[in-house]
Structures are given as C-alpha cells and as structure tokens.
Homo-oligomer: A and B are copies of this chain.
Amino acid sequence: MHIELSRHSSTKLYSQIAVTLGDRIRSGLLTPGTKLPSVRNLSAQLSVSQVTVSKAYAELESEGLIACSQGKGCYVSAGAGKDQTGDEADLSWQLSLMDYLPRAQLWHHFNHVLPARYQFHKAAIQEELLPTREIVANAYKMLSDDPALMANYGSFSGDFGLRKALASVLNGSGMSVTAENLLITSGAQQGIDLVARTFVGPGDVVYMEAPSYTGAIDVFASRGAKIIMVPMDEEGMRVDMLTKLCDLNPPKLIYCIPAFHNPTGVTMSVRRRRQLVDLAQSYHCLIVEDDPFSSLYFNEPPPHPIKCHDQAGHVIYIRSYSKTLAPGCRIACMAAHGSVLSRLIAAKSTTDLGSPMMTQKALQPFIETRLEQHMEQLRTVLRRRLQLALTVLRKHAPAELSWNVPEGGLNLWLKLPAYADPVSLERRAEQAGVSFLPGGVCYAGEADSRHIRVSFTYPAEDKLQEGLKLLCSLIAESRTASPERKPVL
C-alpha cells in the first residue's frame, strides 16, 4: 500500500497516514472488510517506525473506521465508507457526470446471479447438453500444436480458417458467401452493437418487431435512435404496416429475428422475407437479420434466411454460436457485402482490435466436423423439453393463461390472465424461487405487457416440470393476491 508522506510537513507522520487511510476508507477506495497491511509491513513500506503506524491505526480505530484485534490484524469496518452520510461527499461529484446510457435493461435484469431454483429467465441451453468438453480438448490440441496462434492478434475480421468453416455452414443454409464476406464477433450482441455504432445515430429510424430482443433495443436506444416497433402476426412482422410507417418515417435500419423469433417464437413467412428485401431496396436501408436459432427447429427447418434474397448488400446477417455451442467462447459471425462490410470491420477494429484467437480456434474444429450432428441431437432433446413443458401447461395452467407453441428456439411466450399483475407476480415468483423475463423489457417504450417469457431449455427436465407447475399455481393465485401497488395521488 502506497501512501505519500511529506517529511517536512508540520503534520505528524502518523497523522498523515491516518488522514490518507481515512480518506480512502470514506471514499470507498478501501471497502469494508479489507485487511490493512500489518504494522510491521506498512512501517517497512513507508520507511517509518512501527510506533508511527500503530498510532495511525489507533487513531483510525478511535474514529470507528477500522477494527483491530490481536493476532488477526486490522480490517476496514463494516459501515465505514459509503453509509456514512456526510462522509460520502467524496464520490458525489459523479452524480453530475453526464453519460450516454439511456437504457440498459439487459444489465438490470441479468446482472445479479439469480439464486432462483427454477431459472426460466435465461434464453440458454442446459450446460449438460453443450459440447464444452470436446471444444476445450480441441482447443488444447490445436493451440498446443501451434502455440504461435496465441501470440497473434489475427485479423480484425477474425481468423480466416474459422471464417472459411462458417462460410461453408452458411452456404449450407442457402446463402452464397465466402470467408471474405464474414466478420467474427464476440457474440451476436457485439454484432448488433457494431451495426448500431456504425450506421445508427441520433434520430435515425430503426424498425423492430414488437416485442423484440432486449439487448438489441438497448443498443439502438443507446445510439439515440428513434425506435419504432411493428406488430407481428403468425407470419412475423406486419410488413404491410411497416410499409405505411416508412412513408412518414423512412427507415435507416430494420432489425428482425425471422426464425423462431425471440421472444414470441414466430417464424417469418417467405413472402414477408421477400417483401422486406424489396422495402429495403426501395428505401436504401439496411436489414439486420439476427438468426441464432434457425438450426433449432422441432418439425420443419425454417425458410432460407432473408440474406438469401439479398442481391444488393442490404442485409447484414448475424448468426451466433454462443448459446448453441459454448457460451464461454462468445463466438458469432456476420455476413455482409461491399462497403457495409468494410465499414463494420473498421468499427470492429476500433472496438477491440478483433475477437480473441483462442476462442475462435477452439470452435473451428467442432464447426468443421461435428456441428450438424450436434444440432440434430439438440433438436431431439429440446423438442422433448418443449413437449414436457406443454404437458405441464395443459394440465396446470389457469384457464385464462394462453401461450404460443413455438416450432423452434428456446422460449415460450405466455399471456397472463387479466387479473395477474406482472410486477406483483414477478415479486412473488422470485420469493418462490422461479425466475422469468417480464415481457415489458422486450419493448422500447412503456408497453403494456401481459406477457412473460419462459425459456424451457435451461433447467433440467424435472426442474422444468416442477418449476412450471409452481409458476402456474402462482399465476392462479394472482386472482386472489391483493394488489401490492396503490395508485399514487
């Protein structure tokens, strides 16, 4: 621990030490529970006598900022620092520091590790179903055969070998891209973010499905975009309504999740996909096609991606392998053409100089050889999870609860009965150990939301059934539960 001491000052050394440490504790730089250096060590570090340090510590203890005990040493006291009124003035200047973060719902909803026994809030796949052991072994083999790979940044657009492997996978979905069309990103989230920082600025109009992915809404909102959400029906985004809206508010960008949409599970029809490309052409705007789930179909594969209909570089296609292969690698790719691509690569360079070589090389062998087989297995297991979930719902859901039956993906989108207040339900569910995503965060504005998103692919089968049953009973109880919020007069 470093303390600047002035040896020529009229203030005694022990007092200088006490004042400096006291400031650090009050400002939160030294947090409660931190162990202070021993008297012997600090005296050596500062080249002062042990008596000086002892006197400084005694003073801090008398102020209640630290607590010392024989043999254990001195610790910053609980309650020291922030909780002291008056004393926390130190950091208060930060309150006046303007920032550019108008919204970060994702952070609010996911930043604490939820202790929920039944976790339905995460659109993720149960750990045991992911090939993590195989990927780690692949990485080890590849990187220990060629350790120089780890000493390199690689190119901003990502490792060429991985891009080649991914191009071949995408071409299997009907696209025609080469490795040169691809940019590797740290998850789809970064892909969306790169598009936004490159092409979206204050006042630019961004269309999204209503509802949509929270993380994408956050990104566009943080750029100051004018977000307009377009209702959906069973064919996906209502392109007829979008077309009318575009008359008044010409689009800069249209963001959509056409296959097994998050959160609703709806798949966009081929007709709508074509219309969307036509619209983008006539408005000279971009389409961002976010496609994490198209391999996770339970009956039929979804139609070819919108990118397949794109003749003129309007569509930026994003496919993530973070959820389906290894969240610990955070790998996704984007396919784009022309200067749209080269500008995204420039943005990637500014953001982080390119994704880490290690995670890219970890996934490459699996993607080259085992991807299709793994997806086939996932489809089988997740289809069964869905059936189990639907069986519980059919048996235990209160009459007024309704839901979609998704044909792929990870989510159920439940519509609560009119009597169930979502806020109070969330609170009671949390107490009962059940987590879900309240539908409201899937809208850009203050939407109604009678919906909640329940991801059925993260809990094990028994937990899935127990938890859903419990959730059904909590919803049913809402009918009698007293409202917890009173109108504010």
Which A positions have Cβ atoms within 8 angstroms of B?
A: 1-2, 4, 23-24, 27-31, 34, 90-91, 93-101, 104, 106-107, 110-111, 113, 124, 127, 130, 132-133, 135-137, 139-140, 143-144, 147-156, 160, 164, 171, 174-180, 185-187, 189-190, 193, 197-201, 215, 218-219, 222, 281, 284, 286, 304, 308-314, 326-330, 337-343, 345-347, 349-359, 361-362
Contact = CB atoms under 8 A, between A and B. Distances in A.
Residue from A175, A193, A352, A356 having most chain B Cβ neighbours under 10 A: A352
Contact of A330 (B34, B281, B347, B353): B353
A156 B111 contact: yes
Nearest to A93: B284
A343 B222 CA distance: 13
B193 A349 contact: no
A337 B150 contact: no
Given A133-B144, A140-B144, 19 more contacts: A28-B338, A29-B177, A29-B341, A97-B199, A98-B199, A100-B199, A101-B347, A106-B350, A107-B345, A110-B349, A130-B151, A136-B139, A137-B144, A187-B352, A197-B197, A197-B222, A215-B353, A329-B356, A351-B351
A356 B328 contact: yes
Nearest to A360: B328
Contacts of A312: 27, 90-91, 93
Contacts of A178: 4, 31, 34
Contacts of A27: 311-313, 337-339, 341-342
Given A339-B95, A340-B97, A153 B310 contact: no
Contacts of A155: 111, 113
Contacts of A132: 143, 147-151
B140 A152 contact: no
Contacts of A23: 311
Contact of A193 (B140, B326, B350): B350
Contacts of A150: 130, 132, 135-136, 326-329
Contacts of A164: 2
Contact of A139 (B30, B140, B340, B343): B140
Contacts of A1: 171, 174, 176
Given A111-B156, A150-B136, A356 B99 contact: no
Given A91-B338, A111-B155, A352-B193, A198 B140 contact: no
A189 B353 contact: yes
Nearest to A111: B156
A475 B285 CA distance: 49
Contacts of A342: 27-29
Contacts of A148: 127, 132
Given A144-B133, A198-B100, A107 B356 contact: no
Given A186-B356, A219-B350, A356-B359, A174 B2 contact: yes
A175 B310 CA distance: 54
Interchain residue pairs A-B with the least CB separation, the first 8: A2-B174, A150-B328, A127-B151, A328-B357, A132-B150, A91-B338, A140-B140, A104-B346
